[in-house]
Chain A
Amino acid sequence: MPLILTEEQEMLRESARGFLEEKAPVAALRKLRDSNDATGFSRDLWKEMAEMGWAGIIVEEEFGGSDFGFVGAGVLAEEMGRTLTASPFLSTSILAATALKKFANAGQRGEYLPKIASGDLVMALAVDEHGKHGPAKTAMKAEKSGNGFKLSGAKTFVADGHVADKFIVAARSGGAPGEEAGITLFLVDAKAKGSSIERTSMVDSRNAARVTLENVEVTGDDVIGEVDNGYMALEGVLSAGRAGLAAELSGASQQAFAMTTNYLKERKQFGKVIGTFQALQHRAAHLYCEIELMQSVVLKALQDLDDNFGMASVTCALAKAKAGEVAKLAALEAVQMHGGIGMTDEYDIGLYLKRIRVAQEMFGDFAFHADRIARLRGY
């Protein structure tokens, strides 16, 4: 498949860009932050996005989705990255929708996918338990109890955790932390007895939570995929999430870079526009190249998810690793080249620095994925 967008995907991008610039500019995130909004995103806006087919972007048409595939989802994530749009898109439309579409049984798919596509159900993935990502380190206990399980343990960095109606939780039904075997994925109701949720206020002003489960009861029907063999499914879901985040990072970097080159063309010092200085020109040109590389790996990962989902994990790791590094560079250069004004809260560039820091950490930073790639390649 050629490494470019199809006409249809290009049209999706154009319409998304127009919509987001009008309805969800950076000012919208600022407003949510400054008003300490309890939801952390606009439910009305999310409803509108759902009506356009965004909430069900990877969901099949029979369940009310628009079935645009992962490239379509990435196009939207990238555009939302440009405007720093806050929405449950990653948690619900990428992570949960992937888990259900790819690994759930017919009953679960029929029950939840239509509600995701209509924008009526917000879901969140609860996987990490420590400050550094590591799905195999899962320690949350899933103890057999009658026909079901009792879940106990604590999860952190759960995107949209405090507004989710349902969680997809990775817990250990067998084996020991560090092992891939013995992990099971469960659907857990947010209001289940024994669950407590603490909203965490993050540097990027986006939604996250710590979720504690204490003897929360689930039944066999709540298992997604197979008991003890959930790691492969979890990896599949995380791959989609990593590619989605990489796309978002790409959008955020491109926007931060555009703001920076515009600034270089306007700002005058020593009687000259600072963009005439070669020291800055070369740094900007180098960053341009890195951003081009980032766009290539992101598109490749998204296409792989559509073409050969089971084999996409490596390119998704590549995309997340490269996008995280390049986005960091883009944010750092943007702030430095903006000089003093880049340090002010009033100016938007700082918001990009903050979001990029969070998104590059989520589901594995550069070191995590570089290590995985090295191991896969035999060293």
Chain B
Amino acid sequence: MTRRQKWSAMMSDLEKFRLETRAWLEENCPKEMRDGAVGEEFICWGGRNWKFKSEAQKTWLERMAAKGWTVPAWPKEYGGGGLSKDEVKILKEEMRRLRARSPLESFGIWMLGPALLKYGTHEQKAHFLPPIARGEIRWCQGYSEPNAGSDLASLQCKCEDKGDHWLINGQKIWTSYADHSDWIFVLVRTDPKAAKHLGISFILVDMTTPGVSTKPIKLISGKSPFCETFFDDVKTPKEHAPGISAIVGELNRGWDVAKYLLTHEREMIGAGGGGLLGGRSPGEIAAQAIGVEEDGRLADPMLRAKVAQTEIDGWAFLLTMERLKDEAKAGQGIGAKSSMLKYYGTEFNKRRFEVMMDIGGSDELEWEGARTEDGKLVKGWLRTKANSIEGGTSEVQLNIIAKRILELPDA
């Protein structure tokens, strides 16, 4: 076959896949799940204690999970769809076309899954991944500690080898939704004498193990998405089932896994800044809220300039995400550039919400009541303040860019 023939054969395969996908979604996506809703309250997180918001939410999860399409890119043997990058893209496009909700979101999908796929053994993958794909087990992430935030590698949560089990003592903080989760992946110190990056391990713990407890933290937004998580003499078996080690990757090399996952998390949080650009633009909202002059210009020229600046930077950032994606597809990994996405995306998101608050004026300061949907914007504004802290502060990202990309020397 010539290159052109191969190309057109591939294209027709993809077109076929698109048509089949479209037909399947039309057939199987319940009507109630086609409203394009993306807010926190519409997400299906799954897990042992999950209460479905509707029968449709349950059906949608079950049908998609049976297809492997809750995690379309994962291998089929681990509960995924085994789709190629191009096929995943088509599936997403077709879901968007239908305004279909995502069937399942979770830290298992975003974080633990990628870590296991890269660092886990076949047995670990076969044991832990399918329940994530089916939405049966909900995971949370135990990274930060009260004295290990930006300097994460200084973490102290102790994990001792007691022969047939590990003994864990310590505290984690900023554990997202720990109070709703079934299992936790934790960074623990397994070698207190080694250099700080070299004595850390990545361990999997069942939250129902005696000694594990959680306490939600109330934030300035009034919400409690984060918890403190305590480990008091927690005995975790060396093997959760025969041949299924509790440790992911090598003992004392958990920092490699953590770093890999942080890169993932940064891309995700950074991308959030762009994702929020969807819907009505701040300019449109401002034009409606404040009014325009005869020539069509916003009646508040100083605010108008700020809005325009924000839109220009937001647009440039979106294009940069697109370019990095295309570069990654063409085989150039994005590496430390994930720190750029994290830094710029989160700082941009904060700026964008500041401008939205400027536009809203006192009307948007109402914390309760139908007029503001119980302070939807103002609570969102408060939430964004965490964007440039969680997953590594902006300052840490700038350090990474300076060292890894610009190769500026250490102090």
List residues of chain A with CB under 8 Å of any chain B CB.
2-4, 261, 264-265, 272-273, 275-278, 280-282, 284-286, 288-289, 292-297, 299-300, 318, 321-322, 367, 370-371, 373-375, 377-379
CB B328 to nearest CB in A, in angstroms, measures: 10
List 11 contacting pairs A-B, 8 Å CB cutoff, sorted by A. A2-B329, A3-B322, A261-B407, A265-B409, A278-B411, A282-B399, A289-B344, A296-B320, A374-B311, A379-B283, A379-B304
**Is B330 a contact of A322 with CB atoms below 8 Å?**
no
**Is A2 a contact of B330 with CB atoms below 8 Å?**
yes
**Is B309 a contact of A370 with CB atoms below 8 Å?**
yes
List residues of chain B with CB under 8 Å of any chain A CB.
281, 283-284, 286-287, 292, 296-298, 304-305, 307-309, 311-313, 315-317, 319-320, 322-323, 326-327, 329-330, 337, 340, 343-344, 395, 397-399, 401-403, 405-411
**Is B313 a contact of A293 with CB atoms below 8 Å?**
yes
CB A314 to nearest CB in B, in angstroms, measures: 10
CB A155 to nearest CB in B, in angstroms, measures: 27
Q: Which residues of A contact B317 (CB under 8 A)?
A: 293
**Is B308 a contact of A370 with CB atoms below 8 Å?**
yes
**Is B399 a contact of A278 with CB atoms below 8 Å?**
yes
Q: Which residues of A contact B323 (CB under 8 A)?
A: 3-4, 295-296, 299
Q: Which chain B residue lies CB-closest to A273?
A: B409
**Is B408 a contact of A292 with CB atoms below 8 Å?**
no
Q: Which chain A residue lies CB-closest to B317?
A: A293
Q: Which chain A residue lies CB-closest to B405?
A: A288
**A292-B340, A379-B284 given as contacts; is B305 within 8 A of A370 (CB)?**
yes
Contacting residue for A282 out of B312, B337, B344, B395, CB 8 A: B395
**A275-B408, A276-B408, A377-B284 given as contacts; is B322 within 8 A of A296 (CB)?**
yes
CB A83 to nearest CB in B, in angstroms, measures: 22
Q: Which residues of A contact B411 (CB under 8 A)?
A: 272, 276-278
Docked CA distance A3–B304 (Å): 30
CB A97 to nearest CB in B, in angstroms, measures: 26
Contacting residue for A318 out of B298, B312, B340, CB 8 A: B312
**Is A373 a contact of B311 with CB atoms below 8 Å?**
yes
**Is B312 a contact of A379 with CB atoms below 8 Å?**
no
Docked CA distance A367–B410 (Å): 39
**A282-B398, A374-B298 given as contacts; is B322 within 8 A of A379 (CB)?**
no
Docked CA distance A285–B396 (Å): 11
**Is A321 a contact of B406 with CB atoms below 8 Å?**
no
**Is B330 a contact of A285 with CB atoms below 8 Å?**
no
Docked CA distance A282–B326 (Å): 27
Further contacts, 12 of them, CB under 8 A, given A296-B322, A377-B283: A2-B326, A3-B319, A261-B408, A273-B409, A281-B403, A289-B401, A293-B313, A318-B315, A378-B284, A378-B296, A379-B283, A379-B284
**Is B326 a contact of A276 with CB atoms below 8 Å?**
no
CB B230 to nearest CB in A, in angstroms, measures: 34
**Is A293 a contact of B327 with CB atoms below 8 Å?**
no
**Is A281 a contact of B316 with CB atoms below 8 Å?**
no
Docked CA distance A275–B408 (Å): 6
Contacting residue for A289 out of B307, B311, B343, CB 8 A: B343
**Is B409 a contact of A285 with CB atoms below 8 Å?**
no
Docked CA distance A286–B329 (Å): 26
CB A9 to nearest CB in B, in angstroms, measures: 13
Q: Which residues of A contact B316 (CB under 8 A)?
A: 293-294, 296-297, 318, 322
Docked CA distance A187–B27 (Å): 62
**A4-B326, A296-B323 given as contacts; is B281 within 8 A of A321 (CB)?**
no
